Amino acid sequence: MSDVVAVNVAQYYQTLEQHNVVPLWKLAESQQTEPKPDEVPHVWHFAELLPLLQQSVDVVTLGEGAERRVLTFKNPGRRFVGATHSLVASLQFLMPGEIAPAHRHSYSALRFMISGSGAYTVVEGEKIPMEVGDLVLTPNWLWHDHGHEGKQEPMVWLDGLDFPFVASLRPIFYQEIDTSQPVTKPENISLTRYGTGTVLAPKHRPISAYSPLNVYKWQPAYEALQRLRGTEQDEYDGTIIEYVNPVTGGHVLATIAAYLQLLAPGLHTKAHRHSSSSVYFVARGSGYSVINGQCHDWQQNDVFVVPTWTWHEHVAGTEEAVLFSYSDLPMLEPFGFWREEAYTENQGWQQTK
Name the residues that contact ligand GTQ, by CB under 6 A: 68, 70, 72, 90, 92, 109, 144, 159, 161
Nearer to ligand GTQ, 44 or 288 (CB): 44
Amino acid (1-letter code) at residue 339: R
Q: Least distance from C-beta 331 to ligand GTQ, angstroms?
A: 18
Nearest to 243 by CA among 266, 264, 213: 213
Residues 6 or more apart whose Cβ sits within 8 Å of residue 8? none
* Least Cβ distance, residue 153 to ligand GTQ (angstroms): 19
What's the closest the beta carbon of residue 300 comes to ligand GTQ, in angstroms?
Answer: 21
Contacts (Cβ under 8 Å, ≥6 apart) of 298: 43, 280, 282, 286, 287, 288, 289, 304
Question: From CA 126, how far away is CA 195, in angstroms rounded?
Answer: 14
User: Which residue number, 84 or 90, has a Cβ lying nearer to ligand GTQ?
Assistant: 90
Q: Could you tell me the smallest distance in angstroms from the CB atom of residue 327 to ligand GTQ?
A: 18
Annotate 134-178 with DSSP letters as a single string: -EEEE-TT--EEEEE--SSSPEEEEEEE-HHHHHHH----EEE-S
Radius of gyration of the chain (CA): 23
* Nearest CB to ligand GTQ, comparing residues 86 and 90: 90
* CB of 282 vs ligand GTQ, minimal distance in Å: 19
Residue closer to ligand GTQ by CB (options 161, 254) is: 161
Distance CA 122, CA 102 (A): 8
C-beta of 119: minimal distance to ligand GTQ in Å? 11
Closest approach, Cβ 29 to ligand GTQ, in A, equals 31
Cβ-contact 132, 119 below 8 angstroms: no
CA 118 – CA 50 distance, rounded (Å)? 19
| Shorter beta-carbon distance to ligand GTQ: residue 27 or 60 | 60
* Closest of 264, 275, 353, 256 to residue 317, by C-alpha: 264
Residue 44 or 236: the one with the smaller Cβ distance to ligand GTQ is: 44
Of 92 and 308, the one with the shorter C-beta distance to ligand GTQ is: 92
Buried/exposed code over 154-178 (b: 16+ C-beta within 10 A; e: otherwise): bbbbbbbbbbbbbbeeeeeeeeeee
